[in-house]
Homo-oligomer: A and B are copies of this chain.
Amino acid sequence: MIHFSADQLKMMEKKLLVALSIILNLVFTIHILYNNSTAWNPTWTNRAAVEAEGAASVSCSGHGRAYVDSFGVLDGNKPSCECNNCYTGKDCSILVPDCHPFWMQNAEGSAVLESGWHRMSYLFHKDGSYVSAELEKIIRKLHNVVGNAVTDKRFIIFGTGATQLIAASVHALSLTNSSSSPARLLASVPYYATYKEQAEFFNSSNFKFEGDASAWKKSKGNDNITKVIEVVTSPSNPDGKLKRAVLDGPNVKTIHDCAYYWPHFSPTTHQVDEDLSLFSLSKATGHAGSRFGWALVKDKYIYENMKRYIYLSSMGVSRDTQLHVLQLLKVVVGGGGEEMFHFGHETLKKRWEILNKIFSMSTRFSLQTIKPEYCNYFKKVRDFTPSYAWVKCERLEDTNCYEIFRQAKITGRDGKLFGTEERFVRLSLIRSQDDFDQLIDTLKKFVSQEVVGTDSI
């Protein structure tokens, strides 16, 4: 018999593990190469494929990308790296010192000093207004610059976030109800949970939340009598798609929640030109904490009732906030919006590239897909880059998608909250770079487990 010492045994165990690991890696590599080679079937696409692969093979250190149409290719130069924000150098390997997110880059322009005696009164002007006339002016200018909404012949109302304006607009529209039965509040599934939660918690006698607009239309709806208020969220929260009203008729009033209708999230395909539309600073500039939103309202009666709602619920929006927002929008509009929307769009585009790559390796989970559209702002056909990933768990047994992600330490929002199946979960992509990077790390591990566990060997 041959005797091994404990140390020798440990050493052998290690060697075996290393060998096993190498073998496994080889198996995976072959598996991937094999899959790739069957997926490719180049005939007439050969030249273009070679060109694309050539560009893709340029190493940009993970902090940039080379494109086939990069600067100088017509002069015979090879595609060169276009570096991500905060990276530079031929291969994007150099981190730019003091490189900061957009609002840090615009530190001087966006800072505001508020004195201890700034607008202590309720009223702004001798006319008894609760709103800054200058802020109203710059909001109109912002929409003109971006081209995402018509502001002519519209009243503007400020709210403590679009949140307060949702409540105000539903309430104001419910007051146009002449029938004795409460108005019905509807939205297309999947819908933003707040519509339902507000209506049910506040429990107004004027209206009741009734769920999915399409279901209502199909069933008892369309009697042309029952007062209906439909909220159209476009782009949609959770899935980022552009939506249209489902219902129509003399008994129907519509609220267009356009919080996400900004070039960083969506192609701006048209100018919103509705009776009542809502916007939010949170999604326009990223300042969720400031609690500021605005409504564009055509009808004077609706406008007056929304104003009364805001007055009675909070006596207007904090004058501190109005000052801060004015300064922020000066920065945005100052550069024709280009600087901020480009920054926002580039950031989200990169995030979606990373995300799509990860999910493309999964058969267990799928992401929403939206066909590119022409964007009036960027003057080209472009992809949607929504604020949220709307993830579907494809396996039959994965009925509770939120729970499956939660166990992988990824906190999303349950599809059920959006009036749809638990088979969906919403993941937020509008978080700090560090938080996003962490999400991506966790997602990568999670999805790669799937490949190991079920699809290979």
Known: A103-B117, A120-B103. A291 touches B309 (CB 8 A): no
Q: B103, A110: Cβ atoms under 8 Å?
A: no
Q: A110, B104: Cβ atoms under 8 Å?
A: no
- Closest Cβ of chain B to A335, distance in Å, is 14
Which of A22-30, A136-144, A158-166, A360-368 is the interface stretch?
A158-166
Within 8 A of B (CB), among A408-448: none
Q: Does A106 contact B (CB under 8 A)?
A: yes
Q: Does A288 contact B (CB under 8 A)?
A: yes
Q: A120, B320: Cβ atoms under 8 Å?
A: no
B interface footprint on A81-118 (CB within 8 Å = 1, 0 otherwise) = 00000000000000000000101101101111111111
Q: Which residues of B contact A114 (CB under 8 A)?
A: 111-114, 324
Which of A38-46, A195-203, A216-224 is the interface stretch?
A195-203
Which of A54-62, A311-319, A371-379 is the interface stretch?
A311-319
Known: A163-B315, A202-B312, A321-B320. A116 touches B106 (CB 8 A): yes
Q: A290, B111: Cβ atoms under 8 Å?
A: no
Q: A113, B116: Cβ atoms under 8 Å?
A: no
From A103, A197, A320, A328, name the one whose CB has the most chain B CB atoms within 10 angstroms: A320
Known: A122-B288, A291-B316, A292-B318. A113 touches B113 (CB 8 A): yes
Known: A114-B112, A117-B101. A314 touches B312 (CB 8 A): no
A171 to B313 Cα, complex, angstroms:
12
Known: A107-B115, A110-B116, A117-B104. A167 touches B313 (CB 8 A): yes
Known: A103-B120, A111-B114, A116-B109. A317 touches B331 (CB 8 A): no
Q: Which residues of B contact A194 (CB under 8 A)?
A: 312
Q: B164, A313: Cβ atoms under 8 Å?
A: yes
Q: B312, A197: Cβ atoms under 8 Å?
A: yes
Q: B116, A313: Cβ atoms under 8 Å?
A: no
Q: A120, B164: Cβ atoms under 8 Å?
A: no
Q: Does A289 contact B (CB under 8 A)?
A: yes
Residue in B closest to A327 when the chains form the complex, CB atoms = B116
Q: B205, A120: Cβ atoms under 8 Å?
A: no
- Closest Cβ of chain B to A284, distance in Å, is 12
- Closest Cβ of chain B to A449, distance in Å, is 27
B interface footprint on A4-19 (CB within 8 Å = 1, 0 otherwise) = 0000000000000000
Known: A313-B313, A324-B114. A289 touches B120 (CB 8 A): yes
Q: A318, B291: Cβ atoms under 8 Å?
A: yes
Residue in B closest to A171 when the chains form the complex, CB atoms = B202
Q: Does A214 contact B (CB under 8 A)?
A: no
Q: A111, B116: Cβ atoms under 8 Å?
A: yes
- Closest Cβ of chain B to A216, distance in Å, is 22
Within 8 A of B (CB), among A301-357: 308-309, 312-321, 323-324, 327-328, 331
Q: Which residues of B contact A120 (CB under 8 A)?
A: 103, 286-290
Q: Does A37 contact B (CB under 8 A)?
A: no
B interface footprint on A252-277 (CB within 8 Å = 1, 0 otherwise) = 00000000000000000000000000
- Closest Cβ of chain B to A430, distance in Å, is 10
Q: Does A244 contact B (CB under 8 A)?
A: no
Known: A201-B308, A320-B320. 14 other contacts (CB 8 A): A111-B115, A113-B113, A114-B114, A160-B160, A160-B317, A160-B318, A161-B315, A163-B312, A194-B312, A202-B202, A288-B315, A289-B318, A318-B318, A320-B323
4 nearest interchain CB pairs?
A: A110-B116, A289-B319, A160-B314, A103-B116
8 sample A-B contacts, Cβ–Cβ < 8 Å, listed by A number: A107-B117, A114-B114, A120-B287, A171-B202, A288-B315, A289-B318, A318-B320, A320-B321
**Chain A residues within CB distance 8 Å of chain B:** 101, 103-104, 106-107, 109-122, 159-161, 163-164, 167, 171, 194, 197-198, 201-206, 286-292, 308-309, 312-321, 323-324, 327-328, 331
